[in-house]
Amino acid sequence: MISPVLRKELRIELRSRYGTSAVVMFLLVTVVTIAFAAPGELIPPPLMSAFFWITVFFGTMTGLSRSFVSEEERGTALLLRLYAKPESVFWGKFIYNLLLSLSLAFTAVIIFAFFFEDFVVRDYAMFSLQLLLGIVGTAGIVTILSALVARASQKGALLPVLAMPVLFPLVIAVTDATTITMENASSWVAVRGDILVLFSFDVALILISYVLFNFIWRD
């Protein structure tokens, strides 16, 4: 069953609020830094899109990097290996990471809209789809890589280093798509190539992660 693992993650997060606090602080510090670095200046859509997604991606790394690390530190990883099926652990962790990442993304939208007048989305439907596809891919990467680096000595440093090369196609596609939706009220024709890249990337990533997770988790 997925629900026990997911329920455990949500209960721990509600009690400790580690991931939520880290993400909110990272968002605020990043956005305030950008705002003070360019006071009153017009930020063009390509640059605003890049700022937004860099903040979201690295905020996700900050908040979700301990997904499996905390299991090793608390000594609960062995119990999960003994009593939970690998697929249950994978889907439970993935859904938890997805929910937290979506919360991060929507919070980032609100904060960017509050601090920057130039953060204007002209096609909300396409922007919402891009947001969902970008977050699904990011949550999938974090889930499989955090399981991979959980036993390493430099856990916090390894995750962003390993994740960014894998995420590079996703970053390029979603940043370009967001730029288009900031510039055009009807953007489907211009953005459909990026949407297909994002969808294909997410499907391939989740399938590969699901297949490999059993070997990573057991070893």
- DSSP-assigned letters across all residues of 114-136: HH-TT---S-HHHHHHHHHHHHH
The angle subtended at Cα 159 by Cα 158 and Cα 160, nearest 5°, is 100
Q: Which 8-state DSSP code applies to residue 104?
A: H
Mean pLDDT of 83-93: 81
N residues, the chain: 219
Residue that is written with structure tokens 């904060």 in the block: 111
| pLDDT tens track for 170-214 | 889 999 999 989 888 777 788 888 899 999 999 998 998 888 888
Domain positions in the chain are: 3-218
Q: What is the DSSP string of 80-99?
A: HHHHS-HHHHHHHHHHHHHH
The top-scoring range by mean pLDDT among 26-35, 65-74, 103-112, 127-136 is 127-136
61 vs 142: CA distance, rounded Å: 7
Kindly report the number of other CB atoms within 10 A of residue 135's CB atom. 25
Q: What is the three-class DSSP state of 69? A: helix
pLDDT in tens, 17-64: 666 777 777 788 888 888 787 776 778 888 888 889 988 888 887 767
